Amino acid sequence: MKKTDKDETVDQIKTRVVGIDIRLDKTTFGIVDVRGEIIAQDYFATSDYADVNDYVAVLAEKLLTLMEENGGYEYIRSVGISAPSASSVSGCIENAANLPWKGVIPLAAMLRDRVGMAVALANDAHITALGEKAYGSAHGMKDFVVVSMSHGGLGSCFYSNGLPHLGAQGFGGEVGHTCVRIGGRQCGCGNRGCLETYCTEKGLGRTIEKLMANNDKPTLLSEKKEWDIKTVAQCCDKGDEVAIEALRITGDILGVGLANYASVLNPEAIILTGDLTMAGKWLLKPMRKAFNEHVFPNIKDSTRILVSILKEGERDVLGASALAWDVKEYSLFK
Ligand SMILES: [Zn+2]
């Protein structure tokens, strides 16, 4: 047979994967092609399913529907999942504090059995960094740090010489639980003074409470019981002194934390992601000032600090899709 008979002599490859981002509030999943285009995306509430077996059944059903409505199952190569407290080594979610399911859950195997294709799983902080490397601000970089500041957590991961640093047990890179205040605030991890207790939306709330308790300055923030980052930034724009001071303190501590991290690692860039970055200059100016004052002077001018160019709702789906390409192709229905 001639080599030119393309249909019979040339093997076909699958050009699409699925990326899934599991968080406490919602699960987002999308079909992504080799160029990093999200072809279709959908989501549902994670916390509606107290039993993980029900959750996986619904997830598989919704995934298969999305595949059939967007080109078909036969073009999908594999699946990648981002989840908190997930181990890429075991394929399990292990004792997640921020998910409805307790204990050790073999999520990769459970989903593989339902969708009939290879499924890879990794920790959300590592997936965020992978997303930045594959499709975002860290593209082309070998040594970089990604710090994700969300409502309650400060996740981080660093790449060294092109590879993610996982550490002996897979917990490497946790700058959120490094100490920035001796005897400081109580952290969910059990220690005191962790960076995470200051540089998250929740931490910012604790700073605002303390500021309001310790002075009588009038503030727009006193009209609210909880403060999301957008509200605080808007108050800063209106000249609210307490809001500005709260973000100055947060930025100052963040700058010290990042300076310590950078002094150990000498990265090309630190990439900031997550809700807290929405504070813009009110956070970033004091952060940069403190960073410059505390970082090892030899690397001060060469360390770039960037805010991610990827959309919040898409980064971890893209990161999980990048992970999906890493897993060996497997199909029940070949
Ligand atoms: Zn901690």
Ligand 1 centroid–CA 226 distance in Å is: 22
For residues 132 and 128, give the distance between their C-alpha atoms in angstroms, rounded to a whole number. Answer: 6
Whose tokens are 């004792």? That residue is: 95
% residues pLDDT > 90 (the chain): 78
Ligand 1 centroid–CA 96 distance in Å is: 15
For residues 119 and 168, give the distance between their C-alpha atoms in angstroms, rounded to a whole number. Answer: 23
What pLDDT is stored for residue 333 in this prediction? 65
Q: Residue 7 above 80 pLDDT? A: no
Q: How confident is the model at residue 2 (pLDDT cuts 50, 70, 90)?
A: very low
Q: Residue 87 above 50 pLDDT? A: yes
* 179-214 residue pLDDT tens: 999 999 999 889 999 999 999 999 999 999 999 999
Ligand 1 centroid–CA 110 distance in Å is: 31
Ligand 1 centroid–CA 196 distance in Å is: 6
Ligand 1 centroid–CA 155 distance in Å is: 11
CA angle 205/154/287 to nearest 5° reads: 70
Ligand 1 centroid–CA 211 distance in Å is: 22
What pLDDT is stored for residue 332 in this prediction? 72
Ligand 1 centroid–CA 286 distance in Å is: 23
| 183 in Cβ contact with 192 (< 8 Å) | yes
* 115-169 residue pLDDT tens: 999 999 998 989 999 999 999 999 999 999 999 998 888 999 999 999 999 887 7
